[in-house]
Amino acid sequence: MIRRLSAVLICRNYKGDVDMAEIDHFMPLLMQHEEEGLLCPVLSHGSVHFMWIKHSNLYLVATTNKNSNASLVYSFLYKLVEVFTEYFKELEEESIQDNFVVVYELLDELMDFGFPQTTDSKILQEYITQEGAKLEVAKSKVPTTVTNAVSWRSEGIKYKKNEVFIDVIESINVLVNANGSVMSSDIVGSIKLKTMLSGMPELRLGLNDRVLFALTGRDKGKTVTMEDVKFHQCVRLSRFESDRTISFIPPDGESELMSYRINTHVISCHIVLHFQAKGQFKKQSVANNVEVRVPVPSDADSPKFKTSTGNAKYVPEKNMVVWTIKSFPGGKEFLMRAHFGLPSVENDELEGKPPITVKFEIPYFTVSGIQVRYMKIIEKSGYQALPWVRYITQSGDYQLRTNV
């Protein structure tokens, strides 16, 4: 069910075991919990439970009167957002109202009697189009991908030049206390593919996986231990569990092959009171578009700045100084000094101490040291294909607490 603040936009009752009028209780419940500061992702009215997410100005709500699998429900809601965004570019009230027919078609294909079915937008776009005149014709011919064992890839794909682009993207989450000690840190990574390959190729991806090296008795060298590994449905899980080989027939175009988490101690940028920032990563690496957000008191005024590089500006509506550095080489150290006027009258209200936050992106580098050792491409026609690999490290939830 999709609704705005004032009314339901569109809904689908898959099993008929929940009264459609129950949704009228959702918004009053939501507003009540917001006012009480007790907002949570699951709201209940009697025996009916509302599981919801918010996207833009819309609420996507699933209702159930059973002990449903909550993680499955939320995965489906986020998949709805992904599919609708693929179709309509922007998921908002207007795009739903302009495409009622297509939305209902999608809802019927995405789920059947409460069970998720075809959720790949590329496959759905083969037989559900945004052109109403073509909709009826498309219905009569269901693509083989829907009934194939390989439901995520169509047959007969052809490219003049066969290539695979592999992006290894890692986000660093760090919390540093006021004394400069790292309280918590981890790395969340993903491997994304853009495949432009003909036919039905089988790909095998090799990583410097510590478990694999231990199984094969090889010289370890630089290896990583991945946790919470999640794969795209195309990966043969039984093969991975037996010998750690990542073997798969890839979807055509862009997809996320896998995600992972690595628990490790991350060396943080060191920022002290006069805003001294040092890039404590390899000298040959460069962080791009660095943004340091320094909170200041809400009653500060008359700002003055001096920086050794980059630009600093005061953002009063957010009570912060934003220091931007376009290029930050590893091992370099930069300074930013800020001077503010404060009122002489003491403020009785104690303000919180928001942390300093840092944003950045480092190309050609992974903080964990994960590496793509090989990518084998096997296709019955025997064509040659080129694999390309790119590494990117970026900031995730990167916070530094202060005493001031």
- Could you tell me which CATH number the domain at 2-125 has? 3.30.450.60
In this prediction, residues 330-354 reach a mean pLDDT of: 70
| 140: pLDDT strictly greater than 50 | no
| 346: pLDDT strictly greater than 70 | no
- Which one-letter amino acid corresponds to residue 44? S
| 234: pLDDT strictly greater than 90 | yes
Q: Which residues are within 8 A (CB) of 254 and not within 5 positions of it... i.e. 6 or more apart?
A: 192, 193, 194
What is the structure's pLDDT at 134?
A: 36
- Which one-letter amino acid corresponds to residue 353? K
Please give the full DSSP string across 275-300, using - where no structure is assigned.
Answer: -EEE--S-TT-EEEEEEEEEE--TT-
User: Around 125, how many Cα atoms within 13 Å sit in the side-chain half-sphere?
Assistant: 12
Residue 90, token pair as written in the block:
């922007």
Please give the full DSSP string across 296-350, using - where no structure is assigned.
Answer: --TT-EEEEEEESSSEEEEEGGGTEEEEEEEEEETT-EEEEEEEEE--SSPPSSP
Q: What is the mean pLDDT of the chain?
A: 83
Q: Which residues are within 8 A (CB) of 144 and not within 5 positions of it... i.e. 6 or more apart?
A: 154, 155
The total of other beta-carbon atoms located within 10 Å of residue 378's CB is 11
Domain 163-171+183-265+368-393 has CATH 1.10.630.10: no
Distance between CA 143 and CA 141 in Å, rounded? 6
Place of tokens 């943080």: 268
What is the structure's pLDDT at 48?
A: 92
Q: Sketch the domain layout of the chain as residue ranges.
A: 2-125, 163-171+183-265+368-393, 275-363
What is the structure's pLDDT at 268?
A: 54
Which H/E stretch holds residue 84? helix 70-88
**Which of the four pLDDT bands, split at 50, 70 and 90, describes residue 187?**
very high
- Pairing status of strand 320-329 against strand 286-295: antiparallel
In this prediction, residues 126-140 reach a mean pLDDT of: 52
pLDDT top residue among 279 and 53 = 53
What is the structure's pLDDT at 222?
A: 79
**Which of the four pLDDT bands, split at 50, 70 and 90, describes residue 44?**
very high
**Adjacency order of strands within the sheet including 246-248:** 246-248, 202-207, 372-378
Distance between CA 53 and CA 26 in Å, rounded? 12
Do the two domains 163-171+183-265+368-393 and 275-363 of this chain adopt the same fold?
yes
Phi, psi of 31 (to 5 degrees): -65, -35
Using CB atoms within 10 Å of the CB of residue 21, give its burial: 0 to 12 exposed, 13 to 18 middle, 19+ buried: exposed
- pTM > 0.85: no
Q: Which residues are within 8 A (CB) of 109 and not within 5 positions of it... i.e. 6 or more apart?
A: 117, 118, 124, 128
Distance between CA 317 and CA 61 in Å, rounded? 33
Most confidently predicted of 65-79, 118-132, 270-284:
65-79
pLDDT top residue among 318 and 123 = 318
In this prediction, residues 61-83 reach a mean pLDDT of: 90
Phi, psi of 267 (to 5 degrees): -75, 125
Which H/E stretch holds residue 127? helix 121-127
- Could you tell me which CATH number the domain at 275-363 has? 2.60.40.1170
